[in-house]
Structure 1
Amino acid sequence: MHLSYLLLTAATRATGSSLRPPRQSSTTTLTVNLDTKYQTIDGFGFSEAFQRAYNIYNLAEPKRSEVIDLLFNTSTGAGFSIVRNGIGSSPNSSSDWMNTHLPQSPGAPSAMGNASYVWDGKDSGQLWVSQQAVKYGVKTFYGNAWSAPGFMKTNGRDSGGGNLCGVPGALACSSGDWRQAYADYLVKYIQFYEQSGINVTHIGFLNEPDMRDDVKNSTNYASMLSTGQQSADFIKILHPTLAKAGHSHVHIACCDATGWNIQRNMTSALVAAGAEDLVGVITSHTYTSPISGNTQPTTRKVWETECSDLSGGWSTAWYTTGSSGDGYTWANNIWTGLTSGNVSAYLWWVGTQDKETNRNNNEKLILVDGQNYYVSKRFWAFAQYSRTIRPGAVRVGVTDNTGLRTTAFVNLDGSVVVNVINTETEPAGLTIAGLKGKAANAWTTDANNDMTPSTTVSVGADGTVGGVKVPARGMVSFVVTV
């Protein structure tokens, strides 16, 4: 996503925003079932593509370090564990373009051996953010190309859609078939990042490939069209290219469609074309259709890689009658992704953005205005999950209750995480059973709290966790040592 994509619907609204009768009992017992196992979590994250990274970099200290700390600190911030970087394709850095590392065409695909690659050591500011993330222990970096360079495409430019020259069903290109050249281009990106101390773990070659040229103002930024069948065709070239270059450990991601249902169709096409086993993760956005009770038709891991509220004006509210910019809305949306979509990762669009871009809407988690910054409640909704559920955690069973939305996970260190959203209009007392708890911590987020630690959480002699009430339309996350 980027800039003028305002015609698409705003982000999914939480279905728990309507009023419900108050619960009859004052205390609810949740029971965790460690024997019931679901997906493994890779993490939670964001992007700073299209030069958004400079919003952080240009802050004077100590505010620059404060924002980085907010994003990556696992004790006081969100503890994000995935960074999604845009792979540039534009000829220069005008406006907020992401410049390509191959600014000049070698003339023909056969001349790629003489290609003049250029690495500026900045990558639109994304390299610096990635280097800061590494200092906090982040290990998952997703390099995602919005488009191939224009000279590799049927329309001759990196914006406005067009297809990769050579894919089946695309217009013929007089310059030839650029599929292998594009695969080599992506490998070169991985190598540049390696040389700069960042190990790219996932590589994507498309972003919203279903955005047609006839959608007004939809693709005035880098974009490239592709069907599921065309994507499968390129994956069969990219996969052996990665292996030949010694990068078989890098997972191919596909296809970052605009919505969950469109991605389902593309996923089915990948499976039908025999490309599923070559893909590391299936990736989707949630703009044109949300995650709503259906999983992707695949055996591979699934990531939700981009979401935001594109229409609402900047808001730091937790709950305002279910607005699509509210923190409460996004706490519920993440819950839906984890439980209905079985996603292994959930990523927001951009971490930071300035006040002028897109009329200061809610597509950012943190507003950077000059030398000041402001944190939204959407950020703290993410933090409830991303700080407590760490990479490698496995989702396990937990009883649900009318008015409560719960998830439970076992982290690699053996700790058990229970996330609880109260959709009711009254506080909910609860206890957590099914664990032989030794110690527990809990954090609350609502209109008055931003991951505020509990001073009342307790563990009984039988290992039951209690002592905490979940505020009305609030959220509490527990981490229990067992």
Structure 2
Amino acid sequence: MILMVKYTMKFNEYMKQLLMVTCFLSTILIACSSDKKVTPEPPEEKPEVKGDVTIYVTTNNRAYDFAKQAVDFNDKANMSPTTITLDPNTRYQTMDGFGAAITGSTCYNLMQMASADRAQFLKETFSETEGMGQSYIRIAIGCSDFSLSEYTLCDEPGIENFGLQEEEKTYIIPVLKEILAINPHIKIIGSPWTCPRWMKVSNLTDRQPYNSWTDGQLNPDYYQDYGLYFVKWIQALAKEGIDIYAVTPQNEPLNRKNSASLFMSWQEQQVFVKESLGKQLKAAGLNTKIYVFDHNYNYDNISDQNDYPIKIYEDEATANVVAGAAYHNYGGNKEELADIHQQRPDKELIFTETSIGTWNDGQNLSTRLMDDMQDVALGTINNWSRAVIVWNLMLDSERGPNRDGGCQTCYGAVDINKSNYKSITRNSHYYIIGHLSAVVKPGATRIGTKGYTATGITYTAFENPDGSYAFVLLNNTGESKKITLSDGTHYFSYDVPAKAVASYRWK
């Protein structure tokens, strides 16, 4: 009996401990099953978008954020009153590409990112197969107002002292190499903000030395040295595996007030290009293109500088070494491009700079996407521009780094959070370039269209080198528009949302 009691007590104690252990384990299991960090749900795979026509859509409220869509060709009779028919027999300019400026500030910000984050962003921006396929970038020859300091590549007197500087070696060249590894076909255009200060004079009459980053003019005594400066820069980058497609002799030659600047009238630029730059490039065996001017539609309201490129072309020896002219939009109207084209249809036109900032509500996509698509992207192309390049690809959330005397109120095409160099805000300039580069490939030809037009609807059409068609449309109205496109063989329809950009590509 005593043994039975002892056995019963031990059994009860054993059962009590077993119950406690069971409850403890159950608690752990319940906690684990409710903790998503411990047992995460597998990510939901997005279905691949397939169809005869690939479409990218962005709305000004980001409901569609460069969203990839697709539709199939329609085999029924087309009776749509909103049909736009492509006319490949009407052909305009050949397209060179679309992109942004890779400034010192942009490169600095990119290099602060984690390498994996930077690689992902650059792939999304430049990859021809996995991203937007941006295809044309602009860099400074020396410093710009978005550099870490003021410098040229030959700050010590004497062209023999030429050399790449720390900003190029630490930030710009590494970023360019990463971009070229993603898209080796990208075009690069270079522009100086100033010549070395020892080449400057206060005016061309008494030619007094002018030791200032801002303003001044190029001393004609140094025209040959300065032409060689361009050659040495092109060759130095070539040694790094970076080919320069084109240059302009001077960024904003009529702007005396930038943090780094140089005044260069059309008369000066004509002589410099004819007597030095063109000859120096040829002697070095370089086929780098030269685009003159690189400034505003309105020539900064300096009457004797009107039609700046046309004045340069009047000298045939100069015209023979110049590919065309580059323009910015900080003054005047885009129709100036069409006027210049009409005067010299044999010369190319490219658009190389525009900015968004606090002055034009630059981070407000609801207005900027519409305006920038209308005036910058489609507006320049429909007025004969072969390329569209916006200003800084990336600035930080404090609009920098920037220089005193330069633009301190500019936003980038994207802005990265300075506190973590991870969170990115995509602004209108990123979208307008992406909507072009994603479907319009270098070497494409702008072609004609017939049919539907309406207030608030702007578009242009292209035939790509591979025979595919591209079409970019802005719906700047308050309602969705069912647009039908026809290439004469196939047709299809898509409801373009209100206040949206849609880019199409099909074979």
SS in 2 for 1:233: helix
1:129 maps to which residue?
Answer: 175
1:474 & 1:229 partners in 2: Cα distance? 44
2:394 & 2:473 partners in 1: Cα distance? 27
Q: Does 1:266 align with 2:308?
A: yes
- What letter is aligned with 2:311? A
Structure 2: segments with no counterpart, 5+ residues: 1-78, 203-209, 401-406
2:262 maps to which residue?
Answer: 224
2:501 maps to which residue?
Answer: 475
Q: C-alpha displacement at 1:313, in angstroms?
A: 7.2
2:429 maps to which residue?
Answer: 378
Q: In the superposition, relative to structure 1, how do residues 362 and 102 fare at CA in structure 2: closer, same or farther (>3 Å)?
A: closer
1:105 to 154, 157, 168: 157
Question: For residues 155-234 of structure 1, what are the structure 2 equivalents within 5 Å?
Answer: 155=202, 156-157=210-211, 159-166=213-220, 177-212=221-256, 218-219=257-258, 221-234=259-272
Q: C-alpha displacement at 1:261, in angstroms?
A: 4.9
Structure 1: segments with no counterpart, 5+ residues: 1-24, 107-111, 167-176, 213-217, 321-325, 437-462
Q: Does 1:369 align with 2:417?
A: yes
1:465 maps to which residue?
Answer: 492
- What letter is aligned with 1:383? G
2:488 to 421, 424, 435: 435
SS in 2 for 1:278: coil
Q: Does 1:96 align with 2:141?
A: no
Normalising to structure 2: TM-score of the pair?
A: 0.73
Deviations 1:143-198 (A, max 9, x none): 111111000111433522111001xxxxxxxxxx0000000011000000000001
1:335 maps to which residue?
Answer: 378
Q: Does 1:277 align with 2:320?
A: yes
Q: Does 1:252 align with 2:290?
A: yes
Deviations 1:273-317 (A, max 9, x none): 332221123111110123136332432110110001233477544
1:417 to 461, 470, 488: 470
2:192 maps to which residue?
Answer: 145
Q: C-alpha displacement at 1:255, in angstroms?
A: 1.5
Q: In the superposition, relative to structure 1, how do residues 121 and 280 fare at CA in structure 2: closer, same or farther (>3 Å)?
A: farther
Q: C-alpha displacement at 1:127, in angstroms?
A: 1.7
1:288 & 1:471 partners in 2: Cα distance? 32
Deviations 1:54-100 (A, max 9, x none): 1111111322112212321234533211111101169xx99722532
2:88 to 34, 43, 53: 34
- RMSD between aligned residues: 2.5
2:74 maps to which residue?
Answer: none
Q: Could you tell me whether the CA contact under 8 Å between 2:252 and 2:296 is conserved in 1?
A: yes
Q: C-alpha displacement at 1:129, in angstroms?
A: 2.4
1:354 maps to which residue?
Answer: 396
Q: Does 1:291 align with 2:334?
A: yes
- What letter is aligned with 1:151? W
Q: C-alpha displacement at 1:419, in angstroms?
A: 1.1
- What letter is aligned with 2:437? S
> Stretches of 4+ moved more than 6 A in 1?
none
- What letter is aligned with 2:416? V
Aligned length: 398
Normalising to structure 1: TM-score of the pair?
A: 0.77
- What letter is aligned with 2:477? E
Higher deviation after alignment, 351-360 or 225-234: 351-360
Higher deviation after alignment, 355-364 or 148-157: 355-364
Percentage of matched positions with identical amino acids? 23
Q: In the superposition, relative to structure 1, how do residues 469 and 260 fare at CA in structure 2: closer, same or farther (>3 Å)?
A: farther
Q: Which has the larger radius of gyration?
A: 2
When you count helix as a share of all residues, which structure comes out higher?
Answer: 2
- What letter is aligned with 1:344? R
1:304 & 1:289 partners in 2: Cα distance? 14
Q: Could you tell me whether the CA contact under 8 Å between 1:38 and 1:395 is conserved in 2?
A: yes
Q: Could you tell me whether the CA contact under 8 Å between 2:245 and 2:288 is conserved in 1?
A: yes
Q: Could you tell me whether the CA contact under 8 Å between 2:356 and 2:362 is conserved in 1?
A: no
2:472 & 2:146 partners in 1: Cα distance? 44
Q: Could you tell me whether the CA contact under 8 Å between 1:147 and 1:206 is conserved in 2?
A: yes
1:83 to 137, 145, 153: 137
Q: Does 1:118 align with 2:118?
A: no
2:123 maps to which residue?
Answer: 69
Deviations 1:115-153 (A, max 9, x none): 122234751722222212212233311111111100011
Q: C-alpha displacement at 1:424, in angstroms?
A: 2.0
Q: In the superposition, relative to structure 1, how do residues 211 and 417 fare at CA in structure 2: closer, same or farther (>3 Å)?
A: same
Q: C-alpha displacement at 1:271, in angstroms?
A: 1.7
1:243 to 256, 265, 282: 282
1:49 to 88, 91, 103: 103
Deviations 1:326-364 (A, max 9, x none): 11211112111111x210001101101112237984531
Q: In the superposition, relative to structure 1, how do residues 425 and 74 fare at CA in structure 2: closer, same or farther (>3 Å)?
A: same
Q: Could you tell me whether the CA contact under 8 Å between 1:30 and 1:431 is conserved in 2?
A: yes
Q: Could you tell me whether the CA contact under 8 Å between 1:331 and 1:381 is conserved in 2?
A: yes
Q: Could you tell me whether the CA contact under 8 Å between 1:146 and 1:205 is conserved in 2?
A: no
1:402 & 1:71 partners in 2: Cα distance? 32
Q: C-alpha displacement at 1:270, in angstroms?
A: 0.6
